[in-house]
C-alpha cells in the first residue's frame, strides 16, 4: 500500500455527551482572507484555558482540533435539535468588534485520554495546495484510511467520526478532499453516503477500489470460546455473517461506527469477552491479537470509494471516464425506461443504478376516490453511473434527452475510472 502521513483523530466524536446544545458558528470567512486579521479568542467555561485559532485556513494541528471539534459538535447539534432545546451555557466572543454568542458543549472526563501532543504534532500544517488534506470516516487503521492513502499517496489524513463530518470538513475548507465508501461487493450500497451526496454541494472527482480483508480481533490471551459479543461496522458484520456462523461463535453481534473504532474500543475499555471485525493494521495499532484471519464470506471482497472535492475536474476523453448522475420525475418510475433508452441508443454502458426514497415527496397518489379509489406509490430518486466522460458528445446528448423526461437532474461528477489491476490475494491492510 502507498505510504500515508498519519495524524491523530482530530474530528473527535461528541455523540457520547449527555447534552448536545445547539452550537452557533460565526459567519463563514473566505480562506483567501488573511488569518492575521481574523483571529478569534474562545475561552471555555468548563475548562480554564484560552485558545486562539484562525477564522480562515488553520495553520497547525492544534488549530485543526479546535475548529473540527466545533464542526463535529455542530453536526451532532443539528441531528438533535428536536430533542434538545438549548441547555448549554453560552460564551460571548468578539470577531472584528462584533459580539457573537457561542454555546459550548460540556467537557466530560475520559478514563483513557490520548497521549500528550509531541513537538512534531505542533509543527505548522501544510498550507492549502502544498499537500492534500484528505478526510475519511473512522480512526487510524480504518479501511477508509487505506483508501485515502491509495487515492492520494503521502496525503495528510484527517479522521472523522461521521460521514457527515467528512462532507462538512471539505465544505468548510478544513480538508481538500474526502474519500468515502459508496458500495461493497458483499454488503451492497452505503445508503447514507448516497443521501449525503445529494445534500451537500460536493463533486465526485475520482474513485478507488480497495480489497477488504477482515480479521477477528481480541485482547491478547482471549480465546474464541471466551467470546460472547462481536462488534464492528454494519457492513463488516454483514460481509462476515456466514463465516462467523461456520466458526461456531454463538455471540451477539453489535454495530458500531467503524471497524477500526471497534478495535480501539476493545483495547481502550479492556473488554475480554468482546471481539472486533477489523483489519490486521488495526490489530497492530491497538495491540490486539488475530483470532481468525480472512473471515470475509468471499475472498474477492472489494469496496468502492469515491473522492469528493469542492470543485469538479475538467472531463477528458483520453482515458476511461465515469459519470454519476441523480434524477427524479413527477410521474414516478414510469420514466425510468425512457431514461435508460437514452443511454442504450448511444451505446453507453451503465455500471450502477440505485434508487433512494424521495424524501420531499415520499408518496404519490394516483386515481380519484369518487371513481373507484386511489393508489399510493412510493416516490424514488435514481442514482446512475455510466461509462462516458461529459466531454464525450454521446454523454452530452444523452443527458440532454434525459433532461426532457425528468423534473430534477444533477451531475454528481465526471471522473477517471479506477483501472488499476486488482487481485483477491492482495492484502492492502
Q: Which residues are catalytic?
A: 303, 305
Give the Cα separation of 344 and 327 in Å (integer). Answer: 17
Please name the residue that has the C-alpha cell 414516478: 332
Cell representation of residue 120? 512534531
Give burial (CB, 10 Å; 0-12/13-18/19+) of 337.
exposed
The per-residue DSSP string of 277-314 comes to: EE-HHHHHHHT-EEEEE--SSSTT-EEEEEEEESSPPP
Pairing of strands 321-328, 289-293: unpaired
Question: What does the longest C-alpha to C-alpha distance in the chain come to?
Answer: 77
CB proximity list for 52: less than 8 A, separation 6 or greater = 39, 40, 41
Q: State the cell numbers at 370.
A: 369518487
Under 8 Å between Cβ of 409 and 390: no
- Rounded Cα gap, residues 307 and 192, in angstroms: 16
Write the CB contacts of 314 (distance below 8 Å, at least 6 apart in sequence). Answer: 391
Residue 113 to residue 284: CA distance in whole angstroms = 19
Region at 210 (left for phi over 0; alpha for psi -120 to 50; beta for the rest): beta
Q: What is the dihedral of CA 167, 173, 179, 180, to 10 degrees?
A: -10
Q: How far is CA 413 from CA 123, 246, 276, 291, in A?
A: 35, 42, 35, 42
Integer Cα distance of 10 and 72 in angstroms? 10
Amino acid at each position: 500500500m502507498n505510504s500515508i502521513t498519519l495524524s491523530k483523530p482530530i474530528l473527535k466524536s461528541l455523540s457520547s455527551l449527555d447534552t448536545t446544545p445547539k452550537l452557533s458558528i460565526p459567519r463563514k470567512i473566505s480562506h483567501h482572507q488573511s488569518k492575521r486579521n481574523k483571529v478569534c479568542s474562545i475561552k471555555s467555561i468548563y475548562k480554564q484555558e484560552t485558545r486562539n485559532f484562525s477564522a480562515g485556513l488553520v495553520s497547525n494541528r492544534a488549530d485543526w482540533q479546535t475548529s473540527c471539534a466545533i464542526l463535529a459538535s455542530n453536526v451532532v447539534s443539528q441531528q438533535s435539535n428536536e430533542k434538545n432545546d438549548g441547555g448549554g451555557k453560552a460564551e460571548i466572543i468578539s470577531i472584528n468588534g462584533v459580539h457573537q454568542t457561542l454555546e459550548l458543549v460540556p467537557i466530560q472526563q475520559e478514563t483513557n485520554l490520548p497521549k500528550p501532543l509531541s513537538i512534531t504534532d505542533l509543527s505548522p500544517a501544510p498550507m492549502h495546495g502544498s499537500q492534500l488534506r484528505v478526510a475519511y470516516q473512522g480512526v487510524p487503521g480504518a479501511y477508509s484510511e487505506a483508501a485515502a492513502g491509495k487515492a492520494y499517496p503521502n496525503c495528510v489524513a484527517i479522521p472523522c467520526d461521521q460521514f457527515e463530518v467528512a462532507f462538512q470538513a471539505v465544505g468548510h475548507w478544513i480538508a481538500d478532499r474526502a474519500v468515502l465508501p459508496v458500495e461493497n461487493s458483499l454488503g451492497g450500497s452505503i445508503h447514507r453516503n448516497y443521501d449525503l451526496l445529494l445534500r451537500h454541494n460536493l463533486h465526485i472527482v475520482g474513485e478507488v477500489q480497495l480489497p477488504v480483508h477482515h480479521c477477528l480481533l481480541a485482547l491478547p490471551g482471549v480465546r474464541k470460546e471466551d467470546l460472547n459479543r462481536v462488534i464492528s461496522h454494519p457492513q463488516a458484520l454483514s460481509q462476515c455473517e456466514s463465516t462467523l456462523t461456520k466458526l461456531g461463535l454463538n455471540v451477539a453481534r453489535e454495530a458500531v461506527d467503524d471497524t477500526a473504532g471497534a478495535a480501539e474500543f476493545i483495547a481502550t475499555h479492556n473488554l475480554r469477552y468482546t471481539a472486533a471485525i477489523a483489519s490486521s493494521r488495526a490489530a497492530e495499532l491497538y495491540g490486539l491479537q488475530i483470532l481468525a484471519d480472512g473471515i470475509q464470506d468471499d475472498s474477492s471482497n472489494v469496496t468502492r470509494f469515491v473522492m469528493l472535492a469542492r470543485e469538479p475536474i475538467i472531463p477528458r476523453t483520453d482515458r476511461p471516464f465515469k459519470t454519476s448522475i441523480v434524477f427524479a420525475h413527477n410521474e414516478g418510475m414510469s420514466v425510468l425506461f425512457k431514461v435508460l433508452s437514452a443511454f442504450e441508443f448511444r451505446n453507453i454502458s451503465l455500471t450502477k443504478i440505485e434508487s433512494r426514497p424521495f424524501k420531499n415527496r415520499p408518496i404519490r397518489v394516483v386515481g380519484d376516490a369518487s371513481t373507484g379509489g386511489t393508489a399510493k406509490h412510493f416516490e424514488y430518486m435514481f442514482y446512475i453511473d455510466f461509462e462516458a466522460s461529459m466531454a464525450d458528445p454521446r454523454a452530452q446528448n444523452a443527458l440532454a434527452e434525459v433532461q426532457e423526461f425528468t423534473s430534477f437532474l444533477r451531475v454528481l461528477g465526471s471522473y477517471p475510472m479506477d483501472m488499476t489491476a486488482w487481485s483477491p490475494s492482495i492484502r492492502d491492510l
